[in-house]
Amino acid sequence: MDSLTPAAAAAPDLVVSGRRLVTPQGVRPGHLLVRDGRITAVSDARTVPACAEHIDAGDHYVLPGLIDSHVHFRTPGLTHKEDWEHGSRAAVRGGFTTVMDMPNTLPPTLDPEAVLAKARLVEGHSLVDYRFHIGLDPDRPELLAHLDPAVATSAKIFMAGHHTAPTVVRDPAQLEKAFAAAAEGGVQLVLHAEEDGLFALLDAWWGEPDSYLDYETRRPRTGGIVAVAKIIELVRRYGTRAHILHLSSTEEADLVCAAQAAGYPVTFEVTGHHLSFTDEDTRRLGARTRLSPSIRGRADQERLWRAVWTGQVATLGSDHAPHTVAEKTRTPAQSPPGLPGVQELAVAVWTGMRRRRPDEDPDTAVSRLAHHLAAAPAEIFRLAGKGRLEAGADADLVLFAPDTPWMFSAHDVESKCGWSAYEGWTFTGRVERTVRAGRTVWDAATGSFGTYDGRLVPAAPASTRQES
């Protein structure tokens, strides 16, 4: 437990006081002392030191700034449905201070030059800090063996195609080369794990779908099971670190957990959408909850929740993938999968946690939320200074009212697409203020945002990665 240190002896720029600071040592009262955008100390002192600004959090939880390691903010080339101004407003209203953007843009970010070009486009347009997953170029997997960590420490592989997938790895030899190169370069792979060839076989037999009643059966769990089994075998062979995105079924979760028990460096993400909706919702809502991988049945949803309760899941992600209403109301065969979600993710998961286990100690529940949405993604993706309320960390934090009920409406949607699958939901818990680098970027009391000066997050050295 940190106390006031000589580094914090000068008057801080900001002091955040509260009775429920969510720190790595647990929930505790105290003061966060902030200077030049970083936490200089976590103090037990009874009195507030002289400072330029004081925020009294009272009984609100003070969480570390949340991290969404799976967003599609659509820059460049697809900004008619999302851009960084709108996407980052959605993020900070949802408590997120850092996001990691995916490579499937126009053009896609498949090499270091494209990643740096995207960073230049984003600069000056983001309320959040950011980092990018580079995309795998199937024809140049060797790029991963020599990837500069200053550019990216992770690479996205699409094993199945959909409307915005720029490249799909269908050739087993290419996939194997990618795993070997990533292992050599120390690159974290993140994977859309579905078997494209299996889906092509089913499509050739069934033809195009004409309704959403059977969408889940058209993109069945077998696609994910086959792909996850392939990934585990390649991880076993090469020792590559692999993170499976938007895992959707019981069988996939069991396979990954068995691989982890065997000592393989494979982890997985669960989305808020898969925890919030089932295939019955897709039959009712149609394109609004059409995802890839598809949302599955209630038994699968309960298995994913069990992964959250037990800590089997590593990260929670939004897979924030907005499309316009016009795009989503095309025919079932042409409507693109994906929905917005960064604004809704933390409150949707928190609401599900409290409704499913209302008697659980809220300090235990909120610490779990902070782990999966802050500490774990910071550790997995080497996000320097992120994910923790402790001395030396970036002064990113969230004031969260855990018991406040409120209804989410279309008026609340910050995403440029202008709609949400959660419209009409009554959430429990609300983000009251989001602070990045010691400055407020969202204040619910005034409805105001901060300055669009988010920065590219540097990579933490691989040898000193934070423990989660």
pLDDT per residue, tens digit, the chain (468 aa), is 444 443 445 678 999 999 999 999 999 999 999 999 999 999 998 888 888 899 999 999 999 999 999 999 999 999 999 999 999 999 999 999 999 999 999 999 999 999 999 999 999 999 999 999 999 999 999 999 999 999 999 999 999 977 667 789 999 999 999 999 999 999 999 999 999 999 999 889 988 777 877 777 788 999 999 999 999 999 999 999 999 999 999 999 999 999 999 999 999 999 999 999 999 998 888 888 989 999 999 999 999 999 999 999 999 999 999 999 999 999 888 889 999 999 999 999 999 999 999 999 999 999 999 999 999 999 999 999 999 999 999 999 999 999 999 999 999 999 999 999 999 999 999 999 999 999 999 999 999 999 999 999 999 988 544 433
Q: What are phi and psi of 204, to 5 degrees?
A: -65, -30
- What is the rounded CA–CA span in Å between residue 350 and residue 355? 9
- What is the rounded CA–CA span in Å between residue 263 and residue 258? 9
- What is the rounded CA–CA span in Å between residue 93 and residue 320? 14
Task: Give the model confidence (pLDDT) of 86-112 as tens digits.
Answer: 999 999 999 999 999 999 999 999 999
- What is the rounded CA–CA span in Å between residue 218 and residue 209? 8
Residue type, 393: A
Place of tokens 């008057």: 11
Tell me the C-alpha to C-alpha distance, in Å, between residue 305 and each of 81, 109, 406. 31, 33, 23
Structure tokens at 158: 């699409």
Model-wide pTM > 0.75: yes
- What is the rounded CA–CA span in Å between residue 330 and residue 227? 29
